[in-house]
């Protein structure tokens, strides 16, 4: 019988609002790089210059569209929650995923801060479990809050009986 405490449900907390700017910046940098490749090539390759410039415009417009829509959409979807019994997450953009990981299944808890995350004062927490679905990641947390979440998860998992397998 499945406990009510571990039912798959929407997590309560949103990620930090600065995650919108982090995702926007990442997307914009990716779009610019993707559009720059055919654009720069067009400067040096005369016979197909028109087609390369056309690809540059199409890729640039598509990247701009994703950059405008994706961060706002992800902010609406991304949620997280840590209780005494489990970690709950909701994430994704086009493909959305809800996950719950019981404390007894947690093997490791890690944090990561890339260069852009540091600029925005954010961190990601990765919870590795004994699951074929892979680790659970909570991205876009305030750095101080992420540290507190890691401390809470570490204390709770140490006190939780089970073998994490």
Asked, for residue 10, whether it belongs to a domain, the answer is: no
CATH classification of the domain holding 119: 2.30.29.210
Whether 67 and 29 have beta carbons less than 8 Å apart is answered as: no
Q: Model confidence over 17-70: pLDDT tens digits?
A: 999 999 999 999 999 999 999 999 999 998 999 999 999 999 999 999 999 999
Tens digits of per-residue pLDDT, 125-150? Answer: 999 998 888 999 999 999 999 999 99
Query: Within this chain, do residues 93 and 29 fall inside the same structural domain, yes or no?
Result: no
Strand order across the beta sheet in which 96-102 lies: 13-14, 79-82, 86-92, 96-102
pTM: 0.85
């Amino acid at each position: 019988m499945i406990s009510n405490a571990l039912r798959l449900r929407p997590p309560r907390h949103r990620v930090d609002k600065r995650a919108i700017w982090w995702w926007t910046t990442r997307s914009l940098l990716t779009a610019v790089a993707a559009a720059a490749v055919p654009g720069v090539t067009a400067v040096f390759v005369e016979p197909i210059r028109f087609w390369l410039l056309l690809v540059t415009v199409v890729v640039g417009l598509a990247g701009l569209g994703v950059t405008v829509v994706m961060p706002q959409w992800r902010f609406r979807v991304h949620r997280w929650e840590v209780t005494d019994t489990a970690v709950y997450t909701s994430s994704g953009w086009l493909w959305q995923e809800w996950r719950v990981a019981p404390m007894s299944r947690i093997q490791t808890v890690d944090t990561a801060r890339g260069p852009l995350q540091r600029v925005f004062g954010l961190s990601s927490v990765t919870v590795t479990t004994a699951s074929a679905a892979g680790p659970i990641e909570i991205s876009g947390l305030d750095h101080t809050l992420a540290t507190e979440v890691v401390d809470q998860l570490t204390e709770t998992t140490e006190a939780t009986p089970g073998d994490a397998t």
